[in-house]
A = this chain, B = another copy of it.
Amino acid sequence: MNNFTFYNLVKILFGKGTISKTGTEIPQGAKILLTYGGGSIFKNGVYDQVKESVKDFEVLEFGGIEPNPHYETLMKAVEIAKNEKIDFLLSVGGGSVLDGTKFIAAAVYHQGNDPWDILANRAPVEKALPIGAVLTLPATGSEMNGGAVITRVEIQEKLVFGSDLVMPKFSVLDPEVIFSLPDRQVANGIVDAFVHVTEQYLTYPVNSPIQDRFAESIMQTLIEEGPKVLANRTDYDSAANFMWSATMALNGLIGVGVPQDWATHMIGHELTAFHGIDHGRTLCIVLPGIMKVFADQKKEKIIQLGERVFKVQGRTDEQKIENTISAVVYFFESVGVPTRLPEYGVPAETIDRICARFEKRGYKIGEKANIGPKEIRMILEDRL
């Protein structure tokens, strides 16, 4: 096991009826900016529950934060937060609304010319507005970490930043929000959480049995509970298990002291940037390609995944690896997520554009920093 620091300050309020506690977690007298997305919160009753809970506060609202939240949109909220002297940001939505809210929180205090520097040039976050979250969609894990992914539309860039200062002070996780989600969003959440686990697990062994088994526990639970949620949207127990799995998949815990990959995400972000494909779906395209092209480097952990989680068998290591990759693909497809580029209408030329981008950036990705343009081409050509 490698050395590590673990520090997670998020207070989790989990369960039926917890949305009504939102207001009690916010400092008295705070002026709140309530952020939200496309308006589903007005249909599923979440907005009404939140408003009732914060009725003693002055609340301004900022809606319309997109999936893959846009820098351009968020900067409008930054202006409002500054002009209105907002004290507290309350994110009511899924991971995109919360990621966007994290960027707003940091950008409000950004000292330089352009808060885009936080993303493009890793300008340090020295202060941020406090954030609370009411989660409406289990998927990204953003509710229990300090990371965010932001898209700048005009230059088709999707970039990441992270800071302990933008960890939510609290996150309200009421599994009943899942009852009204469409299949596609549930499926995206299942596969997104699953690939968060593989990014911290499918690397190489460092003798870390707790982290490995926790990771396997989450994947196994997603495989069992995900289809139940898809089949019966009002099965509270399955919804709760799915929601808690998604949070545990990316709160830092399973990633302590172990190598991490994240190449699937980095390549997937480009597919979203160029073609607007849902984030979770891009991961299902890329991961099988990475497993195939880097089968040798990831051999031990791919076989461990296969044997422990998917119960695959095989006479040789090669067979076990092949069967594990097939099992992962089957799992993604069984929840309704296609795994090949043509199924999303992505032409082969996009591979050239993505490789050119990594060529220009100059750095390599993956747990051994050995995935560059050449390897990315192999990975994506495997997915044609």
Contacts and interface: CB of A to CB of B under 8 A. Distances in A.
A245 interface: yes
Interface string A251-281: 0010011000000000000000000000000
Nearest to A256: B14
A12 B3 contact: no
Interface string A1-24: 111111111011111111000000
A167 to B, nearest CB: 11
B245 A221 contact: no
A214 interface: yes
A210 B245 CA distance: 7
Contact of A14 (B4, B13, B214, B225): B4
Interface string A282-301: 00000000000000000000
A12 B140 CA distance: 24
A12 B17 contact: no
A332 interface: no
Nearest to A6: B12
A210 B15 contact: no
Contacts of A218: 210
A237 interface: yes
Nearest to A170: B7
| Copies of the protein in its oligomer | 2
A13 B207 CA distance: 18
Contacts of A208: 241
A241 B1 contact: yes
A245 B17 CA distance: 33
10 contacts: A1-B15, A3-B18, A4-B12, A5-B14, A8-B8, A14-B256, A14-B257, A210-B245, A213-B214, A213-B221
Interface residues of A, number: 39
Contacts of A6: 11-12, 14
A221 B8 CA distance: 24
Interface string A200-214: 000000011110011
A32 to B, nearest CB: 21
Contact of A3 (B16, B210, B248): B16
Interface of A: 1-9, 11-18, 207-210, 213-214, 216-218, 220-221, 224-225, 237, 240-241, 244-245, 248, 253, 256-257
Contacts of A256: 12, 14
A14 B248 CA distance: 20
Q: Which one of A6, A16, A208 has the highest number of Cβ atoms from chain B below 10 Å of its Cβ?
A: A6
A253 B252 CA distance: 13
Contact of A224 (B1, B209, B214): B209
Nearest to A7: B11
A236 B285 CA distance: 39
A7 to B, nearest CB: 4
Q: Which one of A209, A224, A257 has the highest number of Cβ atoms from chain B below 10 Å of its Cβ?
A: A209
A244 B1 contact: yes
A3 B11 CA distance: 14
Contacts of A241: 1, 207-210
